Amino acid sequence: MQNGAISPVQLPGDAADKLAPIGLQAVTYDGQTYGVPYAVETLVLYANNALTDVPEPGSIEELVEAAKAGGAEVVLSLPVGEQGDAYHMQPLYTSGGGYLFGTDAEGNQDPTDLGVGKEGSIAAGEKIGALGADGVLRTSITGDNAISLFTDGKAAYLISGPWALGDINTAGIDFTMSAVPGFEGMEPAKPFAGVNAFYVASNGQNTGFAQTFVGEVASNAEIAEQMFQSNNLPPVNLELQEKLSGEFPDMVKIAEFAELAEPMPSIPQMAAIWGPLGQAQANIVGGADPASTMQAAGEEIARQIG
pLDDT number for residue 7: 87
Beta-carbon contacts of residue 24 (< 8 Å; ≥ 6 apart): 15, 16, 33, 37
- Average pLDDT along the chain, 306 residues, taken 10 residues at a time: 73 88 89 90 98 98 98 98 98 98 89 97 98 98 98 98 97 98 98 93 81 84 90 94 96 96 92 98 98 98 95
Return the half-sphere exposure (C-beta side, CA atoms, 13 A cut-off) of residue 94.
Answer: 18
pLDDT number for residue 116: 98
pLDDT number for residue 3: 53
Query: Contact, 70 vs 47, CB < 8 A?
Result: no
Q: What is the pTM of this model?
A: 0.94
